[in-house]
């Protein structure tokens, strides 16, 4: 019997978890159908070191416990990247894998790709080719460099292929496979819809029947938004005007919560310690109509449950632009560029940067019934991970 191929699969931060879960399921299915041909080794670098940002997602997504946890924690970009490279190289010497699979665009993505390629271990990059063309974004640097050293580049949309070809990547390295985030979305959608988070947030009332009250949803975490006092102030100016029309629910990233306090912006928010908000009447109390409702971070299923019925989603996240496009939920992106232009060309997404007038104008347009009507891109069908494993199993063997 042949010795199974060793594939190291790297996870690091919240967006990564939705991408590795379907990969691990696809490897398991491949082994079941073809014999035990691949031994996946799941490595968690620990870039998200808070349990609410990491452990809850592993639980929601049914991801097995990592085989290895590097525990790198926080730090500057250089510190974090350097620590991951040092610890990951030790693992590579120990395991001598046949392949390293990295996903997304976080610091660990680049660090693990660099460590592997320097040891002549093939690298597969899932979600390759995405470009915002804004090199002030650390994620853009990570994307560019990871793609430059990878052997297998799995793209989510045709623009990714075009970007890579323009950068001189040989076409035989590029594989258009679809959006792996959507694999997780489709797989967990039924379970997410059954979650009771809206009842706990008093968005559904037993007395008033099953109809969900109108609300909007916000995510905000990028340094360009939350670390810049002026940018955050402009965003809040627009959002607070929208909050007079519809409640804004904000599961708050720890980074954003820290900066809100540091800048003295607490008065813009109603802070809730838990998810039971029976004391919060979003719709009748005038003071709460002029505040953003700030919650602790949510798990994947809770957040997806809220996103499905939101009137509009405000975000600076990349993945949420994709998920809202597939779900047909209007998305207002608080950035001036996106590495996912297909969500604008075909989907429900619009860019407003930190312009308060644009935020209000686009939100009111949506709330008045004039939301953009998007379509789901053709190969965002929930089968991306299967395509990736099929390609790798045929090409990345010994």
What is the fold of 191-367? Rossmann fold (3.40.50)
Burial of residue 237 (number of CB atoms within 10 Å: 0-12, 13-18, 19+): middle
Query: Residue 360 has what pLDDT?
Result: 98
Query: Residue 59 has what pLDDT?
Result: 85
* Spatial separation of the C-alpha atoms in residues 212 and 41, rounded to whole Å: 42
Tokens 């990570």 correspond to 142
- Side-chain-side CA neighbours of residue 212 (13 Å): 19
Query: Residue 163 has what pLDDT?
Result: 98
Q: What is the sign, positive or negative, of the torsion defined by CA atoms of 123, 99, 116, 140?
A: positive
What is the fold of 5-178+381-395? Rossmann fold (3.40.50)
* Spatial separation of the C-alpha atoms in residues 257 and 52, rounded to whole Å: 14
Q: Which residues of 242-269 are buried (b: 16+ CB within 10 A; e: fewer)?
A: bbebbbbbbbbbebbbebbeebeeeebb
Query: Residue 396 has what pLDDT?
Result: 66
Q: What is the largest CA-CA distance in the chain?
A: 71
Contacts of 81 (CB under 8 A, 6+ apart): 107, 108, 110, 111
Choose, from 48, 188, 221, 293, the residue flagged as catalytic.
221
Helix locations, 201-338, DSSP H? 223-226, 229-243, 254-262, 300-309, 319-327
Tokens 């955050």 correspond to 232
Give the pair of three-digit tokens for residue 26.
């696809």
* Residue 164 and residue 147 in contact, taking contact as beta carbons nearer than 8 Å: yes
Q: What is the sign, positive or negative, of the torsion defined by CA atoms of 151, 28, 104, 342?
A: positive
- Asked if 5-178+381-395 and 191-367 have one fold, the answer is yes
What is the helix (H) or strand (E) element at residue 176, kind and residue range? Answer: strand 174-176
Would you give per-residue pLDDT tens digits along the chain (398 residues)? Answer: 578 999 999 998 888 999 999 999 999 999 999 987 999 999 999 876 555 556 777 888 889 999 999 988 888 889 999 999 999 999 999 999 999 999 999 999 999 999 999 999 999 999 999 999 999 999 999 999 999 999 999 999 999 999 999 999 999 999 999 999 999 999 999 999 999 999 888 888 665 556 788 999 999 999 999 999 999 999 999 999 999 999 999 999 888 999 999 999 999 999 887 665 554 566 666 665 678 999 998 999 999 999 999 999 999 999 999 999 999 999 999 999 999 999 999 999 999 999 999 999 999 999 999 998 899 998 999 999 999 999 999 986 54
Tokens 């008045």 correspond to 368
Query: What are the extents of the domains in the chain?
Result: 5-178+381-395, 191-367
Give the pair of three-digit tokens for residue 206.
């037993």
Give yes or no: 221 in active site: yes
How many residues in total does the chain contain? 398
């Amino acid at each position: 019997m042949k010795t199974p191929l060793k594939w190291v699969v790297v996870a690091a931060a919240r967006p990564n978890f939705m991408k590795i879960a379907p990969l691990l399921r696809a490897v398991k299915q491949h082994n079941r159908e073809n014999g035990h041909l691949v031994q996946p080794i799941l490595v968690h670098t620990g870039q998200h070191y808070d349990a609410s940002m990491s452990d809850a997602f592993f639980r929601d997504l049914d991801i097995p416990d990592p085989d290895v946890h590097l525990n790198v924690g926080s730090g500057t970009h250089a510190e974090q990247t350097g620590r991951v490279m040092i610890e990951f190289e030790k693992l590579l010497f120990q395991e001598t894998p046949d392949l390293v699979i990295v996903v997304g665009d976080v610091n660990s993505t680049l660090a693990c790709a660099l460590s592997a390629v320097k040891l002549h271990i093939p690298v597969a990059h899932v979600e390759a080719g995405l470009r915002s063309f804004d090199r002030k974004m650390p994620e853009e640097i990570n994307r560019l460099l990871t793609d430059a050293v990878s052997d297998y580049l799995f793209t989510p949309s045709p623009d990714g292929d075009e970007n890579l070809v323009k950068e001189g990547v040989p076409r035989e390295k590029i594989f258009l496979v679809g959006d792996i985030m959507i694999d997780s979305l489709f797989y967990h959608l039924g379970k997410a819809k059954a979650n009771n988070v809206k009842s706990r947030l008093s968005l559904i009332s037993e007395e008033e029947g099953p109809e969900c009250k109108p609300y909007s949803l916000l995510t905000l975490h990028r340094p360009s938004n939350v670390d810049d006092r002026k940018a955050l102030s402009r965003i809040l100016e627009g959002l607070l005007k929208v909050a007079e029309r519809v409640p804004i629910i904000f599961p708050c990233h720890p980074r954003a919560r820290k900066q809100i306090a540091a800048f003295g912006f607490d008065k813009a928010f109603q802070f809730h310690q838990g998810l039971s908000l029976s004391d919060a009447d979003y719709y009748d109390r005038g003071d709460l109509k002029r505040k953003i409702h700030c919650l602790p971070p949510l798990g994947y299923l809770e957040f997806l449950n809220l996103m499905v019925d939101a009137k509009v989603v405000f975000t600076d996240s990349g993945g949420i632009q994709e998920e809202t496009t597939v779900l047909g939920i209007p998305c207002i992106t608080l950035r001036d560029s996106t590495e996912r232009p297909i969500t604008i060309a075909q989907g429900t997404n619009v860019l407003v940067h930190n312009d308060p007038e644009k935020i209000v104008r686009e939100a009111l347009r949506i709330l008045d019934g004039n939301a953009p009507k998007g379509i789901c891109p053709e190969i965002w069908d929930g089968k991306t991970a299967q395509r990736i494993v099929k390609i790798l199993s045929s090409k990345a063997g010994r």
